[in-house]
Amino acid sequence: MKSVAIRQLFPFLNWWPLVTRASLRADFMAGLTGAIIVLPQGVAFATIAGLPPQYGLYTAMVTPIVAALFGSSRHLISGPTTAISIVVFTAVSGHVAPGTPEFVQLALTLTFLAGVYQFAFGLARLGAVVNFVSHTVVIGFTAGAAILIATSQLKHVLGVPVPQGESFAHTWFDIVTEIGQTNLHVFGVAAVTVVITLVVRRWWPKLPSLLFGLIGGALVAIPLGGGEAGIPFVPAIPAHLPPLSLPDFSLSTIRMLAPEAFAVALLGLIEAVSIARSVAAKSHQRIDGNQEFVGQGMSNIVGSFFSSYAGSGSFTRSGINYAAGAQTPLSAIFAAVLLMLVVVLIAPLTAHLPVPAMGGVILIVAYNLIDFHHIGAILRTSRPESAIFLVTFLATLFLDLEFAIYLGVLLSLMLYLHQTSRPEVAVLAPDPVDGRHKLTDIESKPLRECPQLKLLRFDRSIYFGSVNYLQSRLDAVCESEGIRHILIDASRVNYIDMAGAEMLVLEAKRRQSRGGGLYFCGLKPSTWKSLAEQHAIKQIGPNAFFGHKSQAIAAIFRKLDKERCARCDARIFLECASVPRADAETSTA
């Protein structure tokens, strides 16, 4: 018992026994690959977030280590991401100017608050919450964020003046208005960066294409004239490890950033858990959502004190980490440590990195965020999902990003409630071809039904949201078909709340008053207990509940009108053979 508690407190003890000499070698090589890949990404993501470039690298150094030690995934790589970066920019830029010391401190405070939210969610065992957020919301938000990212970089790619902090529509208006002032030298550097990146990715996919693109853009900027030709350069990154930092803990700041921090926390958890589960499906590992919440929360809390802004799971780096042969979370730790060494050694060289080259790289990153395949599938196959996608997408472009996230989550819950409020009600009948007379859905196979006993199967939970729909279906059977006896197969009902129990009691008494009855079979122990605690079984009558369908049909058959049975041609039940047929004259009459 004590060892279990220790392992819950220090989850890295669960995978530490898997570390071997072979796994160390594999993890080191995967970490080396990850360090090379995250170098240009970290700089790009910090730029998107409105922070100095080094803060993206600091995040890639601190966040992966903490998340690896306290998360549950063996392959998830945490750190700066595009979606989180643009939410951070939008949230903080509404209060102070990007790039200023005040902006940096508010970004760190936002990171701390987001980590507290995530850590609290994990302790409260709310890991299943992300399951209620539609994947369509994530796709719509990511696509919208990608276009926002690309829009924010066009001024750097074209070299046209666009005021900082303008809305999506105003930015495009300024770009179209100023397009005639495009700096061809700036545009040339960005174009060469994009071409080199795409060529390397096409012909040498295992090489860090973004890094080669940045190097190519930097080399092209020299013969084009560099700064004299109006080509701006990225400020030199300090050649040291993440310095200590202190978020702003004033009550006014916390109150101001708390709503935005919740959106950052929610988006970060959705990203991290979705990516972890996606990779785990390939590696056959079981992911603990609650532990992943704790790991992400601690990584952001700790990171806020080491000059790191909000991070989450990275799909690109996590996928490459798995493909590179990583065996344990040590690969993430190796990647962070190796990145530290790289930054200390080559940080002064970043002063030769052209801003338009960074813009070209970010355009490619933004393009890769758009999931064209799934967007096409959504628009072709589902109107409700299409509506959710379009609303989330447009809200991301034209409204505050945190509001777009909340709106998408709200739409997901509404769609879920709508679907569960109209559970599938299958009409069953015995299959005469089957030797056991197996009850079969008549929609899958046309079968004759008994004119006195209706067999139904409820395929979802009976709760307050589905009560009206189920009641209308039962009324239709009674009123339009004139059937007074109904047997409900409840084997697929997982939950019955108080409203559902009251509805079943009401319908049972209504049929009993008309000489019929409402019967149940196949109740799960949990639903039986729920009905018993709400006194529904006592009110309906214990004789209305059966363990098996055959027992239920045999008992209900004794209550049917035998005169109608004698004249019936269906005779679908085995018990029907016990009732002699009426003679031809009686049948005619």
Handedness of CA 129, 135, 139, 144 (dihedral sign): negative
Tokens of 334: 């190796």
Select from 461, 521, 538 the least CA-distant residue to 493: 461
Write down the pLDDT at residue 69. Answer: 92
Write down the pLDDT at residue 48. Answer: 84
Of all helices (H) and strands (E), which one includes residue 390?
A: helix 383-398
SS3 487: strand
Write down the pLDDT at residue 574. Answer: 82
Write down the pLDDT at residue 19. Answer: 84
Of all helices (H) and strands (E), which one includes residue 2?
A: helix 2-9
Of all helices (H) and strands (E), which one includes residue 519?
A: strand 517-521
Write down the pLDDT at residue 3. Answer: 60
pLDDT < 50 positions in the chain: 584-589
Write down the pLDDT at residue 584. Answer: 46
Q: Where are the domains of the chain?
A: 22-232+242-417, 425-588
Select from 529, 56, 537, 136 the least CA-distant residue to 339: 56
Write down the pLDDT at residue 4. Answer: 58
CA angle 206, 209, 212 (to 5 degrees): 125
Q: Looking at the domain 425-588, which fold is it? A: Transcription Regulator spoIIAA (3.30.750)
